[in-house]
Structure 1
């Protein structure tokens, strides 16, 4: 090989090597090739199938698949009030191939209480977007002697802890709602925790294994249509569009606001480009008109927040829940 040819070969080789290094570096922290063809994305739901969290995830699933160009598989990991699923999510590699539905208070509070033994912290999650705020409600059997919220609360004050009330797990949204009711009104219920989620709690209520159903608007909308429950109050300042005849706690003279906030997150540490792709796909899915309509049919009003705004909201919630956590711990 002559000297000119040898020099040319060396130049080409060096160029290819540098290009390869640049590509490798870009692929390590870049979403340009995300998701890889044929590699599916797991969407972890920390509650059992059939509940509001699971239903919302399955509504956005097909649009995520369309936007990302790969399969998205909803995987239910129920138990411990969401803690099992959140552990699964935060233990996963932050490469974009595992994301999860995150709902507060459960995801916010579980790492705050040392007795829960959570292996994750607030910093273990990377929020991707908020989907909805689902106001809390309190309901009784359709043949219950209690026709109004005031009648039910008076009975609970007269016989503290004499009536059982469902929650979707220790320190979940319903548990906090019960503590807020007790603080604001003096009415004390005995919480019964169903750690697998709303479906398990609702089944127990329909089987008359608990006296009172504390849930969210989305949990009871169909039950009301079917005549299977009587909702006495919504814990928000405005009536729920899907329950227009049900008064708010504020209308009844009680300052109680509670509910569940639901969104999507990933394990912390996603490459920026991957995070951007996931956020954009989730925004498209959450705000899709058909998804929004189906959510409304469930009694849910879409209230999207971007990844950054959802993160800021999460931080504020953490500060708020720290203040009332001792009260919830007293009512375990």
Structure 2
């Protein structure tokens, strides 16, 4: 009677191994979805599509990565899709901060940022305050002083509450006490048109949206960058901190996956990402992003996010109080 039991156990073990081929075969047996929370053709989508072939290359000769767009709700739709997918390593998110970690602070979201394991940061895009070159304000400090004195008002465009510009503007209002007027837009293309046309006084934009402000159809000027220190490509633009306002809001993009995905799969993804960002062919293909490529491991990136958490929580509390008072 003992032998049949042993044969049965062996058969059960064989059956289990046959029923779970994906884990053993990862990443070769089916496509990996790289999910982007913004529309095709945008900056995040273009970055994902440039990166995908090199992730494939450095993962496995048989790996196949496809970019899937799930736009809407400042990335919440895509983030939710990834978190609800099977935890088998075949669904990876291209996440954007601050939206990923700020939106759950101000409203209920169907995803939880704490359920993500960050794979690595790919880019860190400076957040800029941009004006027309004929603006009467020479600096951020001058702008704040003029508005607080009551001598002028200032309308400032931004791309939504959870965007890097929306967060930076609201933190600036909170930090400075200046009654700056928000004008929301759905994209930087719209806000740039409004600025050039004189419909708003300034806009918040990422560096990739205005890489050459002096070459726009109407010459533009950067008043300040909202980074911890001056970005290498903007050595002559002061930071908000230098102007006296402790507001640091970079626009970071990178990869994340559900934290329940096996650690060895997460490690292979991080190794492939790191190798991709050192690959000469990728660096050539990603030339448009050359100024903002800024790899950090998932652990290092998470540390940055944790360090920036307190001011975001304070801002969220302030916004909720402001909303309740209306």
Q: Does 1:302 align with 2:293?
A: yes
Q: 2:210 aligns with which of 210, 220, 225?
A: 220
How far the C-alpha of 1:328 sits from its partner, in A, is 4.3
Q: 1:33: which partner in 2?
A: 25
Say which SS state the counterpart of residue 36 (structure 1) adopts: coil
Say which SS state the counterpart of residue 111 (structure 1) adopts: helix
How far the C-alpha of 1:213 sits from its partner, in A, is 1.4
Task: Check the 8 A contact 1:161/1:189 in 2, yes or no.
Answer: no
Measured in 1, the distance between the counterparts of 2:127 and 2:71 equals 21
Q: 1:146: which partner in 2?
A: 137
Q: 1:240 aligns with which of 231, 242, 245?
A: 231
Say which SS state the counterpart of residue 112 (structure 1) adopts: helix
Q: Does 1:191 align with 2:191?
A: no
CA distance 1:305–1:273, change in 2 (3 Å): same
Q: Unmatched 5+ residue regions in structure 2?
A: none
Task: Check the 8 A contact 1:139/1:213 in 2, yes or no.
Answer: yes
Give 1:37-76 correspondences, 5 Å limit.
37=29, 39-68=30-59, 69-76=62-69
How far the C-alpha of 1:25 sits from its partner, in A, is 7.2
Task: Check the 8 A contact 2:283/2:290 in 1, yes or no.
Answer: no
Task: Check the 8 A contact 1:171/1:328 in 2, yes or no.
Answer: no
Measured in 1, the distance between the counterparts of 2:262 and 2:41 equals 33
How far the C-alpha of 1:154 sits from its partner, in A, is 3.5
How far the C-alpha of 1:264 sits from its partner, in A, is 0.9
Give 1:285-296 correspondences, 5 Å limit.
285-289=276-280, 291-292=282-283
Q: 2:76 aligns with which of 70, 79, 83?
A: 83
CA distance 1:19–1:263, change in 2 (3 Å): same
Q: 1:4: which partner in 2?
A: none
Q: 1:156 aligns with which of 147, 161, 176?
A: 147
| Aligned-residue CA RMSD (Å) | 3.4
Measured in 2, the distance between the counterparts of 1:236 and 1:71 equals 36
CA distance 1:90–1:140, change in 2 (3 Å): same
Deviates further, 64-73 or 310-319 = 310-319
Task: Check the 8 A contact 1:46/1:83 in 2, yes or no.
Answer: yes
Q: 1:121: which partner in 2?
A: 112
TM, length-normalised to structure 1:
0.79
* Count of residue pairs brought into register by the alignment: 318
How far the C-alpha of 1:278 sits from its partner, in A, is 1.9
Task: Check the 8 A contact 2:76/2:110 in 1, yes or no.
Answer: no
Q: Unmatched 5+ residue regions in structure 1?
A: 1-6
Give 1:161-172 correspondences, 5 Å limit.
162-172=153-163
Q: Could you list the per-position Cα deviations for residues 247-290 of structure 1 after superposition, in whole angstroms to 9, with x for gaps in the alignment?
A: 32344344432222222112332133332322222222234345
Measured in 2, the distance between the counterparts of 1:238 and 1:313 equals 14
CA distance 1:208–1:25, change in 2 (3 Å): farther
Q: 1:132: which partner in 2?
A: 123
Measured in 1, the distance between the counterparts of 2:246 and 2:114 equals 32
